[in-house]
Amino acid sequence: MTKLRALLPLAATVALAACGGGSSDSGSNTPQPTPSDKTTMTLGVSDAAVSNVSAVNIVIDGIVMKKGDSQQTFETKDEDGNPISINLLNYTGDQVFPLLADVELEAGEYEWLRANIVNGTSVENLSLGSHLTYNNDVQVALDVRRKGNDGVGEIQVNNVVVNEGDNAFVLEFDLNRSLVLPQNGTTVYLKPTTIRLENTQTTFTVSGSVSEALKQACIADNSELAPAEGEYKHVVYLYSEQAEQPSDIFETDPVDVNSPIATATLDADNEFTIGFITPANYQIGFSCLGHVDDPEVDDPDFSIYQQQSIEVNADTTVTFDSAS
């Protein structure tokens, strides 16, 4: 039977037993579960903050998992029986909204996990669908680009392994990478391909700060790229160790190694948090040019202002200080 945790007024970090996010190696010595094995799974939602908006409400109408020829659906309803609405900006960095708690399912390899999204353009009352609120209080529809045959927006993550015992996953929305502002019209789109499914027990947090002096130096050195409206956007970018020319956010197939893995916008205290990062060596950089970073294209004006290499095998703190 599916068990749902009641909605919580504050963010909660989900941390249960280990789980995996990719396909198992058939040559592994680890015994593979049989279809009769039952286990539990917890699923949370988190995001990396984005600027110039006061709310990003995503409405989730169920989680579906496909294993072999069968599918299992878990309801995600609020106390009134409506699909759950989550303001992602309330759950940034390593904070997690508990979407599912201890649901029972078979252990093993799943073809995909899918979150069904109520697109804002599919409802007459925008408050019942996904929507975005700008800082000037203007609300617009938010749609997931991928749609099923029924028109429902779909966020799908492929090749999910559910181990025996308890499992804890988090869907990580990196809004700097996933939100596509409208070129024509008002609807904002969410790119599902940028959303990560991570294991909260085998990942770590990268956090830190950028000095005000470094921010101002970056602004002074990029005065010709000042935004026509608003302010410079200060963002920290995390890259693979293999990135030779760390660049802005842009999507290619296959993924370009120079595009960031994750991002975080600085808060009012010049601090940042990037949650759910797997152990590895990375490059991390700061830029004040987030406002010229269009996630749809490779922006030639973008540049990283300061960069360093880090090793992540525990929660890691990074400081960007004097200009180098």
Amino acid letter, 133: T
Residues 62-88 have a mean pLDDT of 94
**26: confidence class by pLDDT, cuts 50, 70, 90:** very low
pLDDT at 262: 93
**52: confidence class by pLDDT, cuts 50, 70, 90:** confident
**37: confidence class by pLDDT, cuts 50, 70, 90:** low
268: left (phi over 0), alpha (psi -120 to 50) or beta: alpha
Q: Decide the pairing of beta strands 316-320 and 204-210.
A: parallel
The mean predicted confidence, pLDDT, of the chain is 83
Q: What is the value of pTM for the model shown?
A: 0.77
Whole-number percent of the chain with pLDDT over 90: 59
Q: Is the pLDDT of residue 268 over 60?
A: yes
Among 19-33, 75-89, 120-134, 158-172, the least confident range: 19-33
pLDDT at 4: 26
Amino acid letter, 17: A
Q: Is the pLDDT of residue 197 over 50?
A: yes
The CA distance from 202 to 102, in Å, is 18
Q: Is the pLDDT of residue 105 over 60?
A: yes
pLDDT at 252: 72
